[in-house]
């Protein structure tokens, strides 16, 4: 179980979302409310676009987010128009930077909350479907890293929603072949620095929570006294595992089996349907 957030909008210090809200990601690392575990202390990561280079920067650590001083320094002093942040609760795999999210390939970032069930049994089959040049990039032992490289294999860079649907379908195909009842539990996000694709899906139809922020103009109008909220640009959007504070009207739940696309112009929300039987 993990927690994550993604931001897109005018550049803001990363700390505005990671450190400072009442129920910030740091607070969630100690006291998550909606997740399977309350403590998310098995490493963390931040990935951000600096507005100059197309490739994102990634800072990952094995320490708990709440006691990592470098995280405070970095997020306070680095502003970004699009960033991912993730705190990890290992379900058994090693606590190492290469198992921390977000993962990166070229200009793409990926992060995930959830799991591939019976991973030890299906792991080899999942690896086999990854394109050989991408296999060489695997560095850790997590299911999430494999999900990302499967999605890349299935065309994430060209058509991200379809690639995520093929990835989910393939995991379900492999799981079914191994007799796994509910192979996939996932709330995942991917970005190329321009748009964010965030999917909520699980084989059992009871997915981990996922929220996106209300339109920034509405938020600003409702909270005229909150300086940080007033500074959000019209396009600003946040996607989170759980709300960052008590303002219920600031957040909308992503419906079960849906995918949201945060992008320049109109954002989108559509059904997410795994594509089975395609890749096997």
Q: Which is nearer to a copy of itself, 142 or 203 (CB)?
A: 142
Q: Write the CA distances from 126 to 23, 149, 207, 214, 280, integer angstroms.
A: 36, 10, 21, 37, 10
Sheet containing 79-88, strands listed edge to edge, beginning at the edge strand earlier in sequence: 57-61, 44-48, 79-88, 2-13, 237-240, 211-213, 251-253
Whether residue 102 has a cis bond before it, omega within 30° of 0: yes
Shortest gap between Cβ of 87 and a copy of itself (angstroms)? 12
- Which one, 119 or 154, has the nearer CB to a copy of itself? 119
3-state secondary structure of 260: strand
Closest contact distance (angstroms) between CB of 64 and a copy of itself is 5
- Rg of the chain over Cα atoms, rounded to whole angstroms, equals 18
Compute the C-alpha angle 92/36/149, nearest 5°: 55
Query: Taking the CA of residue 77 as centre, how many other CA atoms within 13 Å lie in the half-sphere pointing to its CB?
Result: 6
Closer Cβ to a copy of itself, 70 or 230, answer by number: 70
Q: For residue 34, with 0-12 CB atoms within 10 Å meaning exposed, 13-18 middle and 19 or more buried, which class applies?
A: middle
Q: How far apart are CA 202 and CA 172, in angstroms?
A: 10
Query: What are the tokens at 132?
Result: 């050989």
Output the smallest distance, CB 222 to a copy of itself, in A.
28
Nearer residue to a copy of itself within complex by CB, 30 or 161: 30
Phi, psi angle pair for 7, to nearest 5°: -130, 140
Distance in angstroms (rounded) separating the CA atoms of residues 148 and 260: 17
Query: In terms of CB distance, is 97 or 256 closer to a copy of itself?
Result: 97
Q: Which is nearer to a copy of itself, 89 or 210 (CB)?
A: 89
Q: Shortest Cβ distance from residue 96 to a copy of itself (Å)?
A: 4
Q: Which is nearer to a copy of itself, 123 or 276 (CB)?
A: 123
Q: Give the shortest CB-133-to-a copy of itself separation in angstroms.
A: 8
Q: How far apart are the C-alpha atoms of 126 and 8, rounded to whole Å?
A: 31
Number of Cβ atoms within 10 Å of the Cβ of 267: 16
Judged by the rule CB under 8 A, the positions of this chain that interact with a copy of itself are 30, 38-39, 41-42, 48, 50, 53, 57-64, 66-67, 69-70, 73-74, 76-78, 90, 93-98, 119-121, 123-124, 127-128, 132, 135-136, 138-141
Shortest reach from residue 268's CB to a copy of itself, in Å: 29
CB of 46 to a copy of itself, least distance (A): 10
Between residues 58 and 231, which has the closer beta carbon with respect to a copy of itself?
Answer: 58
Token pair listed for 257: 């089996």
Min dist CB 73 to a copy of itself, Å, is 5
């Amino acid at each position: 179980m993990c927690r994550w957030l993604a931001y897109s909008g005018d550049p803001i210090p990363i700390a505005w979302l990671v450190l400072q809200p009442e129920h910030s990601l740091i607070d969630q690392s100690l006291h998550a409310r909606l997740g399977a575990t309350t403590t998310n202390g098995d490493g963390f990561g931040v990935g951000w676009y600096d507005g100059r280079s197309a490739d994102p920067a990634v800072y990952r650590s094995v320490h708990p987010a709440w006691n990592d001083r470098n995280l405070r320094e970095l997020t306070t002093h680095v502003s970004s128009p699009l960033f991912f942040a993730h705190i990890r609760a290992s379900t058994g795999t090693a606590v190492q930077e290469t198992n921390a999210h977000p993962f990166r390939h070229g200009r793409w970032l990926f992060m995930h909350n959830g799991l591939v069930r019976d991973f030890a049994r299906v792991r080899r089959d999942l690896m086999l479907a990854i394109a050989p040049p991408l296999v060489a990039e695997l560095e850790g032992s997590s299911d999430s890293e494999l999900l990302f490289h499967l999605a890349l294999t299935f065309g994430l860079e060209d058509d991200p929603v379809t690639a995520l649907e093929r990835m989910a379908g393939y995991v379900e195909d492999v799981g079914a072949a191994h007799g796994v009842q509910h192979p996939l539990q996932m709330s995942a996000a991917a970005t190329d620095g321009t748009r964010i694709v965030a999917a909520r899906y699980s084989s059992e139809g009871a997915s981990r929570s996922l929220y996106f922020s209300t339109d920034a103009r509405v938020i600003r109008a409702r909270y005229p006294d909150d300086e940080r909220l007033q500074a959000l640009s019209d396009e600003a959007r946040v996607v989170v595992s759980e709300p960052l504070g008590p303002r219920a009207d600031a957040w909308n739940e992503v419906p079960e089996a849906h995918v949201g696309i945060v992008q320049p112009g109109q954002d989108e929300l559509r059904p997410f349907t795994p594509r089975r039987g395609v890749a096997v």
